[in-house]
Chains A and B, each alone.
Chain A
Amino acid sequence: MIRFLHTSDWQLGMTRHFLSEGAQDRYSQARFDAIRAMGRIARDEKCQFMLVCGDVFESNQVDRKTVARALEALKDVPIPVFLLPGNHDPLNAASVYRSSTFNERKPDQVQVIETSAPIKIADGVEMVGSPWMSKRPVTNPITDAIKALVPAKGTIRICMGHGAVDTLTPDRHAAGTIAVATLDRAIGEGKVHFVALGDRHSLTKVGVGDRIWYSGTPESTDFGEVQSGYAQIVEVGEDRITTKPVQIGQWRFIERARVDLNAADDVEALRKSLEEIDNKDRTVIRLNLVGSLSLTLSGALQNHLTAAQDVFGAFDVRDEELLLVPDDTDFTNLGFSGFADATVQRLRNKIVDGGIAGTEAREALMLLLRLAREAV
């Protein structure tokens, strides 16, 4: 039996446009912190090595600082670490793994998988990597790597791979897709005992048995990731296998696909629900607002959203389907009459007409409301 930590898709150097400057720094730091956290867990869990199955870096063109900080974090990992070049950081001529910064600072226990030749990790344990040598290979490197193998008798053989599998991608025939059947067959023939995969950011089991896994990214990267922010501890033998997911990530991506807003109560409910979210500074929120609000309620909503924007890691509001419909109450107490009242009526009519002019009129009314209220 051999015990190791399986992780992938660190995507170091990843930036998110929607993050503010401070949030981006926290977000980047969280990914370096995740390396150290996994190092600690691997040590505590008595793992013999760590496999990072591709996309360690978001790109081959990441900044020197990012590389340096990554290697600085890797220094704190007390066990051998195998880094597999993936589609984001292929081992091509511009590879980050061939940069002077990487080679000058690489800790001794860190090894980059450069070929698919089997590597002996320990007595009776062999590891076969399948590094990406370019961004667009004709076939996934793991296919050729497995094809070259013969059944491993008396040796536990672990295979590292990277890329989408045909059972989970809509584009099954795309170049570089891994056929799950091939992996299952290799396991069945005793060529391989565990396939550690990277590319998919959610922790996912693949194939018929329990021996093919995506570890997912240790720190969430986007909305729609089901179980991201994990690594897994794998214990594998010829006859037996156990896997244990371990939560690593600190960031969350929360998307509310539909928030209905039609009345003051809805606005209040949204405010409360935002308020209840903890760990806000490491939470990215996306709200899709639907419904129609009066200008007054819209003003209130804007106040809540502005307040939320200040505290969340990122706050993405999509309000294309939220209509602002001025009603009589919006202008009550403002005492508008004469041409001011006529202005309001004309702008409201324009809103009804819709189009760009309608949008402009709506904003003009909001402005009028603000100016009138400033005056009170």
Chain B
Amino acid sequence: MKFIRLRVANYRGITAAEVKFGPDGITLIQGPNEAGKTSLREAIGLLFEYLDNSRHRNVEAVKPVHRDEGPEIELQAESGPYAFTYFKRFLKRPETTLIITKPNPENHTGRKAHERADAILRETLDVDLWKALTIQQGDAIHQPDLARQTSLSAALDQAAGGRPTDPAEVGLFDKVRTEYLRYYTERGAERKELTDARTALTRSEEEASNIEQAIRSLDDDTERTASLQEELAQLKEQDDRLTQEVTAYTTSLAEIRDLEGALSTSRLKLQSAQQSEEAAHRDRDFRQALITRVAEADQEYKKINAESAMSVPVLEQAQRELKKTQVTFSQADEVRKLADKNAELRRADFDYYQNKLQLEQLGERKSRIDEARKNAAQAEKLLRCNKVTARVLESIEAAEKELLAAKAKLETGAPQVRLESLAECFMIIDGKDTTLSKGSERSLTVTSNLRLSIPKKLNIDVIAGASFEKLEKRVVDCQGELDCLCENASVVGPSEARQAYETRNEASRVAAAKTQIEKENLRDLTYEKLAEMLMGLEQTVPAYVGNRAKHPAICPDLESAEKEWKSSELTHRQAAHACELAHQTLDVARGVWNDHNTKHHQSRASLDLSSKHLIQARADLKRARENISDDGLEKALAQAVQVVASENAGVQCAETALRTKNPERVKALSETAKGSLQTTHNRRDAAQTELTVVQTRLKIHGEEGLYEKLHAAQTACERLMTDSASLHRRASSAKCLFETMREERVKVRRAYVAPLKEKIEQLGRLVFDDSFQVDISEELRITSRTLQNITVLFDSLSGGTREQLSLIFRSACSMIVSQNGGMPLILDDALGYTDHNRLRLMGAVLAKAAKECQIVIFTCVPDRYGNIGEATCISLR
């Protein structure tokens, strides 16, 4: 597309203005601020966008100031094969004309003219991009805040939504997205409103369902009431019927009871007759038994009497034998007793000798123990007094050694005074008169101080030094310590201590030996037991001989006593054995006699008893016959049998009468009827109770207005369902619209990326170098520039570079709008941040772009565009 001429009249502050663009390349329109540059650019947009009768605020905005005229815009242009002049007057006397001169002349007016112009644009241009660029040109590209520049992407959004001239407004896509976000989150999840609607509907449905259930229960109760009432009526009928049956059976049962009474009476009579018959039988049998018993008793008596007579001689023979064996036993027993006595004496003798020996031994053992105990007591006493233990002795000996050592040191370390007498000399040494003979020598050891005094002539004091005093003090200390130890041990000196120690050791040994001696002599006895035994023996042993019988004589010693004792024991055992045998024989004889004697006595007793029985039986029979004779008994029996037969016939008659009434059946039926009646009563009570419960329930719930509540709930439910459906429908439509539009938008963006990149890089290499590359985002923004393999984010580039890249970007856009001629690129004082060198290079860019699209530059600084090559310059006044 190419602009040839633009005229505006009554447009904002412009009364009339006309610009004729250069036929090719760049048109540089120069003029001061407020000369109307921006208005001209804006006018082209209004011309193509709005109908002449539009009252859009963008149109209203260009109304002329202080004039009641309609703004006019006329553009002469070429686009593709078309050449046309397009005119519009807005607001006042609106008018549109389109005069096409090429390829075929056409004239249009009004709406048709607008539509034809629109069609020409669509035919020859990428209308979306063209509109977007028109929008984009609304912002001055050289503003310092490049971020505010309308991005191509946003411009495309607005252009697509039919909003080409007001970049500040929210685009259609944003509206669609806002609508979508009313229902869904950015991540596509449903918002609370949708879920709430669903929840509310569910709750409402539950409520309606609950009321429905309550109504169903009420209906059930209603039906149940009817069925219970019916059941109660049936039960009443049944009750009446059963009551009648029970009454009838009660009457029958009374009759049966009467018959049963009669039968019972007959049976009692029969029983009585039978008992009488049995009694008669018994009497007759008893008489027979009495007669038999007399005969048997007589026979028994005779038999026992014969047996008794035969037992007497046998008993006498046994008694004789018994006496004989008794004599034999007495003799044997006498011999045994003598042997026993002798053996006992001999045993005592042996024990005497034994005890005597033991007395001696025990006496010795006790003496040894007593001796040991006495010695031990003395030793312990000594040990208690003697304090010189091994350790004490060791301490004393150590102290003694220390003292001797200290003394030796004193001896060797003390100063010596040697006196050599030149003549006989009298002197006093330490107060002791001493006379030294001529030529004699004497050495004195000065332990502390020493006074040599020659009377009336001289006193010599020899005083030992400090070290000597220390040695002496040491001797004194050691002596003190030794004395102290000896005193503690209650000894005079070390020698006595050593002696005391020996004594102590000896005493300890004696004390220790006591235990051993006790153990050896006591053995398994205690001392007390030993003493007790000894005392017992001392009493018994000496008395034995005195108390002993004189004969036979005692054996002389232990050995012979033992021998005699064993011999007497043997004799005693033999006598005892003989005695035992005699005793056994006696027992046998006594047993035989006892048996015969017992039998004899039994025979006598049986005979007596049998005699008594016979007498008693004879008396009983006699008494019975006196009472009633044997014939009388037989007659009574025959009469009783006859009575029983008669009563038996009566009983059978009564039984027949009762059987006719079938009492079992009547009783069973009566019980059944009573049971059924009770069951009926139970059922009636249960039904009545249930009926009361159901009726109470009906009374309570029947007046709750459930029907209207249900309808209210259902209505609420239906409304919620409708609302929810409507809400979800709106949400789905918003989603459908948003997703469709987003996909289409992405497609368009992608379609622009590659050609734009190619064109930008082609132009950019004129400014930078051959390695120049850019990245274009799907949002159609330059995101980074790469130069010499170094990539820098767009936002990190300098202001000047960003301005240059933006201009290159727009030039590229203008070039790709149309396959043939692009569209005019309108620049409003661009390149304010570009340095002189870059201005020159950017001039080359514009010149190259101008070969493919028309470039119109509005500027108040024409010098800035001194390097743009061939251009048409127009001055705007």
Interface residues in chain A, defined as those with a beta carbon under 8 Å from any beta carbon in chain B: 13, 15, 17, 24, 58-67, 92-94, 96, 99-101, 133-135, 333-343, 346-347, 357, 360-361, 363-368, 371-372, 374-376
The reply to whether A363 and B175 form a contact with Cβ atoms under 8 Å apart is no
B:149-178 near A, CB below 8 Å: 156, 159-164, 169-170, 172-173, 175-176
- Chain B residues near A101 (CB, 8 Å)? 703
B:72-114 near A, CB below 8 Å: none
When chains A and B are docked, how far (Å) is the Cα of A15 from the Cα of B716?
Answer: 12
The reply to whether A62 and B172 form a contact with Cβ atoms under 8 Å apart is no
Q: Can you list 14 contacts pairing A with B, beta carbon distance less than 8 Å?
A: A58-B707, A61-B710, A67-B703, A101-B703, A337-B127, A338-B156, A339-B156, A339-B741, A341-B160, A347-B740, A364-B737, A364-B740, A367-B730, A372-B162
- Chain B residues near A134 (CB, 8 Å)? 222-223, 226
Of the candidates B128, B707, B732, B745, the one whose C-beta lies within 8 Å of that of A337 is: B128
When chains A and B are docked, how far (Å) is the Cα of A17 from the Cα of B716?
Answer: 8
Interface residues in chain B, defined as those with a beta carbon under 8 Å from any beta carbon in chain A: 49, 51, 127-128, 131, 156, 159-164, 169-170, 172-173, 175-176, 179, 215, 218-219, 221-223, 225-226, 229, 694-695, 698-699, 702-712, 714-715, 718, 729-730, 732-734, 736-737, 740-741, 744-745, 747-748
When chains A and B are docked, how far (Å) is the Cα of A374 from the Cα of B162?
Answer: 12
The reply to whether A346 and B744 form a contact with Cβ atoms under 8 Å apart is yes
Most chain B Cβ neighbours within 10 Å, of A360, A367, A374, A376: A367
Residue in chain B with minimal CB distance to A136: B223
The reply to whether A340 and B741 form a contact with Cβ atoms under 8 Å apart is yes
- Chain A residues near B176 (CB, 8 Å)? 367-368, 371
Whether A66 touches B705, Cβ cut-off 8 Å, given contacts A93-B225, A339-B745, is yes
The reply to whether A343 and B127 form a contact with Cβ atoms under 8 Å apart is no
The reply to whether A371 and B715 form a contact with Cβ atoms under 8 Å apart is no
The reply to whether A338 and B159 form a contact with Cβ atoms under 8 Å apart is yes
Whether A17 touches B736, Cβ cut-off 8 Å, given contacts A65-B705, A338-B748, is no
The reply to whether B699 and A100 form a contact with Cβ atoms under 8 Å apart is yes
- Chain A residues near B712 (CB, 8 Å)? 15
> For chains A and B in complex, what number of residue pairs have CB atoms within 8 angstroms?
164
When chains A and B are docked, how far (Å) is the Cα of A255 from the Cα of B708?
Answer: 26
Where chain A touches its partner, the secondary structure class is helix
The reply to whether B179 and A15 form a contact with Cβ atoms under 8 Å apart is no
Of the candidates A93, A99, A336, the one whose C-beta lies within 8 Å of that of B161 is: A336
- Chain A residues near B707 (CB, 8 Å)? 13, 58-63
Residue in chain B with minimal CB distance to A15: B711
The reply to whether A340 and B226 form a contact with Cβ atoms under 8 Å apart is no
When chains A and B are docked, how far (Å) is the Cα of A364 from the Cα of B127?
Answer: 25
- Chain B residues near A60 (CB, 8 Å)? 222, 702, 707
When chains A and B are docked, how far (Å) is the Cα of A364 from the Cα of B731?
Answer: 9
- Chain B residues near A371 (CB, 8 Å)? 172, 175-176, 179
When chains A and B are docked, how far (Å) is the Cα of A360 from the Cα of B161?
Answer: 21
- Chain B residues near A59 (CB, 8 Å)? 707
When chains A and B are docked, how far (Å) is the Cα of A338 from the Cα of B741?
Answer: 10
When chains A and B are docked, how far (Å) is the Cα of A344 from the Cα of B781?
Answer: 26
Of the candidates A64, A135, A363, A366, the one whose C-beta lies within 8 Å of that of B705 is: A64
The reply to whether A347 and B226 form a contact with Cβ atoms under 8 Å apart is no
The reply to whether B222 and A337 form a contact with Cβ atoms under 8 Å apart is no
- Chain A residues near B709 (CB, 8 Å)? 63
- Chain A residues near B131 (CB, 8 Å)? 337
The reply to whether B733 and A363 form a contact with Cβ atoms under 8 Å apart is yes
Supplied contacts A94-B225, A342-B744, A371-B179, 17 more A-B pairs, CB within 8 Å: A17-B711, A61-B704, A62-B708, A94-B702, A99-B703, A335-B49, A336-B162, A337-B128, A338-B159, A360-B732, A364-B740, A367-B733, A371-B172, A371-B176, A372-B161, A375-B170, A375-B172
- Chain A residues near B219 (CB, 8 Å)? 94, 135
When chains A and B are docked, how far (Å) is the Cα of A92 from the Cα of B173?
Answer: 66
When chains A and B are docked, how far (Å) is the Cα of A333 from the Cα of B164?
Answer: 13
Residue in chain B with minimal CB distance to A357: B736
Min distance, Cβ A87 to any Cβ of chain B, angstroms: 13
The reply to whether A100 and B708 form a contact with Cβ atoms under 8 Å apart is no
- Chain B residues near A339 (CB, 8 Å)? 156, 160, 173, 741, 744-745, 747-748
Of the candidates B229, B708, B732, B748, the one whose C-beta lies within 8 Å of that of A63 is: B708
Whether A17 touches B718, Cβ cut-off 8 Å, given contacts A58-B707, A335-B49, A342-B744, is yes
Of the candidates B160, B221, B698, the one whose C-beta lies within 8 Å of that of A340 is: B160
- Chain B residues near A368 (CB, 8 Å)? 172, 176, 737, 741
- Chain A residues near B747 (CB, 8 Å)? 339, 342
The reply to whether A346 and B740 form a contact with Cβ atoms under 8 Å apart is yes
The reply to whether B729 and A363 form a contact with Cβ atoms under 8 Å apart is yes
- Chain B residues near A334 (CB, 8 Å)? 162
The reply to whether A338 and B705 form a contact with Cβ atoms under 8 Å apart is no
When chains A and B are docked, how far (Å) is the Cα of A335 from the Cα of B54?
Answer: 13
- Chain A residues near B215 (CB, 8 Å)? 61
Residue in chain A with minimal CB distance to B50: A335
Min distance, Cβ A346 to any Cβ of chain B, angstroms: 5
The reply to whether A364 and B218 form a contact with Cβ atoms under 8 Å apart is no
The reply to whether A61 and B705 form a contact with Cβ atoms under 8 Å apart is yes
Of the candidates A66, A94, A367, the one whose C-beta lies within 8 Å of that of B221 is: A94
The reply to whether B695 and A93 form a contact with Cβ atoms under 8 Å apart is yes
The reply to whether B708 and A13 form a contact with Cβ atoms under 8 Å apart is yes
Min distance, Cβ B111 to any Cβ of chain A, angstroms: 10
